[in-house]
Amino acid sequence: MKKNLKLHQWLMKWHFISGVIILPFVLILSVTGFIYLFKNTYESPQISDYRNLDVKNERLTFQEQWEIAGRNSSVKPHSVILSGKTDEATEFISGKFANVSHLFVNPYNGAITGEFIENESPMGEVRNMHGSLFLGVWGGRIIELVGCWLFVMLLTGIYIWWPVKKWSVFGFFIPRIKRGRRTFFRDIHAISGFWISILLVMILAGGLPWTEVFGNNFKKLQKITNTGYPATWDGQGLQSWPTKNAMSLDEMILVAKKYPLLGTVSLRFPKGKDGIFSVSNTYYKNLNAQKVIHFDQYSGRVLALHKWSDVGFLMRGRMWLMAFHQGQLGAWNFLLIACTASLLFIMSLAAIISYLLRKPKGKLQVPNVPSNFHPGKYIFLSIVILGLILPLFGLSVLLIALLSRLPLRKKQAKNS
């Protein structure tokens, strides 16, 4: 591929400007993302203290435990985890998303062994920093904008990294050590960016569905194309047919156990007299093994059974990428994300060091672009397409374009 040198300079300018703005945030994201990978490792000992217990006496019924959990939880539990182990406390779940709470009930004496609230844990704080900088909705928008520009920086970085004349192992695949510190750190930045570029794109694709603007637009696309969850996946539109007596929780659990499921299995409680019981499992190692089954709360009759293959392809891809983003698909995934987060930190830090080593004192030194250069229709079209896919990026480009016109207008007004 023959490079356009003027385009190279133009992309270098915008790669530099966007880097100055977002690299501090990228450093935060890489550090907090790396730390959050160890969430289960960090939280497991505390949860184990709540969960593990000595087996004594006869067990209370699940119905009795459910009632105890309801009396001792600030938010009424909506689910119970079906573990099948006799030496563990029964785990009841309330809340959703970041506000999930886990309440543990000793099945032998009814005592509350502990409550774990995810949003109040240290890892919950790390997640909030990673997703919103502790700034709520506006912080989330900042992180989304950073993610959009990081994606653009990857594209422009690959073009800038591509050799002008000929390939060389040193400088393109191995850092040059004998060319001085500035060149060394420049090579560290460019080469590490090249090696992790594809992984970073996948990680960004797994993170953007959590964002407000892109995430909501993606949900709308799934709805329009009918590529999300089936309409009754979460039980919407299904209802029980009331008879004299509803099944007890113990009776429902016996019915649920006839459907062996892999991973973490939960039983969701019915809401009201027309509500339904729902059994589902989470198994990241093999998403295809996930199912959700809805039952009539009076007869135990199956109202709907959905397999993962019933889910639309956009939702399946989205959930896989989101699990990949968090390193949940297995040890290989965990190691890939950990290494990528580490290299992203090194890459960003190397860019800052390289810039500081070459920057004249007191000057910003933005790369120059020939005054007669115009990007062309294909570059313009690419920016428009990216702006439509990543709306916050598109809005920021429009804002930059408007601001860049202000000095010119002021100059023209002064000359007239």
Write the secondary structure of 46-112 as one string of H (helix), E (strand) and C (coil): HHHHHHECCCCCCCCCHHHHHHHHHHHCCCCCCEEECCCCCCECEEEEECCHHHCEEEEECCCCCCE
Radius of gyration of the chain (CA): 27
In the prediction, which pLDDT does 402 show? 87
Q: Is 116 helix (H, G, I), strand (E, B) or coil?
A: strand
Domains of the chain: 229-311 (3.10.450), 380-416 (no CATH)
In the prediction, which pLDDT does 174 show? 85
Helix, strand, coil shares of the chain as percentages rounded to 5? Answer: 60, 10, 30
- The contacts of residue 311 (CB under 8 Å, 6+ apart) are 228, 229, 230, 233, 319
Print burial letters for 303-325: b (CB count within 10 Å at least 16), e (below 16). Answer: bbebebeebbebbbebbbbbbbb
In the prediction, which pLDDT does 409 show? 52
Chain centre to alpha carbon of residue 19: 22
| Burial class of 206 by CB neighbour count within 10 A (0 to 12, 13 to 18, 19+) | buried
In the prediction, which pLDDT does 98 show? 77
In the prediction, which pLDDT does 407 show? 60
In the prediction, which pLDDT does 2 show? 65
In the prediction, which pLDDT does 144 show? 97
- Give the strand pairing for 79-81 and 264-268: antiparallel
**DSSP tag of 383:** H
Residue type, 117: I
Chain centre to alpha carbon of residue 268: 25
Paired with 281 in beta bridges are 265
In the prediction, which pLDDT does 179 show? 86
In the prediction, which pLDDT does 414 show? 55
The two structure tokens encoding residue 109: 């004496």
The two structure tokens encoding residue 218: 């993606």
Q: What is the pTM of this model?
A: 0.90
The tens place of each residue's pLDDT in the chain, 416 residues long, gives 567 788 888 888 889 888 988 999 999 999 999 999 999 999 999 999 999 988 777 899 999 999 999 999 888 999 999 988 888 999 999 998 878 999 999 999 999 999 999 999 999 999 999 999 999 999 999 999 999 999 999 999 988 888 777 777 777 788 888 888 989 999 999 999 999 999 999 999 999 999 999 999 999 999 999 999 999 999 999 999 998 899 999 999 999 999 999 999 999 999 999 999 999 999 999 999 999 999 999 999 999 999 999 999 999 999 999 999 999 999 999 999 999 999 999 999 999 999 888 887 877 777 888 878 888 899 999 999 999 999 999 999 999 888 877 765 555 555 55
In the prediction, which pLDDT does 177 show? 87
In the prediction, which pLDDT does 8 show? 85
